[in-house]
Amino acid sequence: MSPTADALADLWARVVLRADPLPTGSTLAAVAVGLALVLLPTTWRTVRHAVTVVHEGGHGLAAVLTGRRLTGIRLHSDTSGLTVSRGPVRGPGMVATLLAGYTAPALAGLGAAWLLGSGFAAGLLWALLLFLALMLVQIRNWFGLWVVLVGAAVVVPLTWFAPVVWQQAFGLALTSVLAAGALRAALELQGSRRRAARQGRPAGSDADQLARLTRVPGLLWVGVFVLVATACLLGGAALLFPGWPAA
């Protein structure tokens, strides 16, 4: 085989490397770390940037899949973000694009739990690297660039140099952050909507934009986000802890 073919074969072997799951105690500890990062106010503001990156990535992916033209993504220091795409201002494409934001971290957490439960911690990290690379191409502001590069700086050494057990532990903590963070972000959305209403500010959240497009009240859309996040959180737990909740 040529050196290039050897390198590609080695890379693929890294991607599809399969390892036995961590012992239940270690899995619980890693999951608990992720949950603590979401539940503690002092750390939530930091890890919420990870949830926002996936949120905006969900908007972007849905826009592309529905035929819209993605023009850029911005991430802000207050953990908000903005994804801009061009296309019809109404219709199923716009609805899908708006719906994908708050559901993306929950679905990503569920997918990550499936990969980890199947033994593919390395594959999860490689998928994360690919996602960050795609995000990097679409970022249109300096803070967003900083967030994505910091994420890559964490994931690259873990992917290339860390033992499998550390890859698994990181993957479990990240999965917990995404799954629990998706639920917390969805719950906080209603609070931000109430504050905007009290202050007389324009309602511009994803739920409010969906309400204007579909004539379904924004509160019901918030409920959809919460239900999806809850279902994915429970589904992820079942994947990571086989036999739960029957055990």
Examine residue 247 and state whether it is found in any structural domain, yes or no. Answer: no
Residue 45 counted as domain residue: yes
Arithmetic mean of pLDDT over the chain: 93
61 within some domain: yes
- Condensed to tens digits (0 to 9), the pLDDT of residues 153-167 reads 999 999 999 999 999
What is the pLDDT, as a whole number, of residue 246?
54
- Does residue 166 belong to any structural domain of this protein? yes
Q: Is residue 207 part of a domain?
A: yes
Residue 11 is assigned to a structural domain of this protein: no
What is the number of domains present in the chain? 1
pLDDT tens-digit readout, 231-244 = 999 999 999 998 76
Structural domain including 186 reads 22-239
| Predicted structure pTM score | 0.94
- Per DSSP, the residues of the chain read --HHHHHHHHHHHHHT---PPPPHHHHHHHHHHHHHHHHSHHHHHHHHHHHHHHHHHHHHHHHHHTT-EEEEEEE-TTS-EEEEEES-SSSHHHHHHHHHHHHHHHHHHHHHHHHHHTT-HHHHHHHHHHHHHHHHHHB-SHHHHHHHHHHHHHHHHHHHHS-HHHHHHHHHHHHHHHHHHHHHHHHHHHHHHHHHHHTT----SHHHHHHHHH---HHHHHHHHHHHHHHHHHHHHHHHSTTTTT-
In a domain, 162, yes or no: yes
Domain-embedded: residue 98:
yes
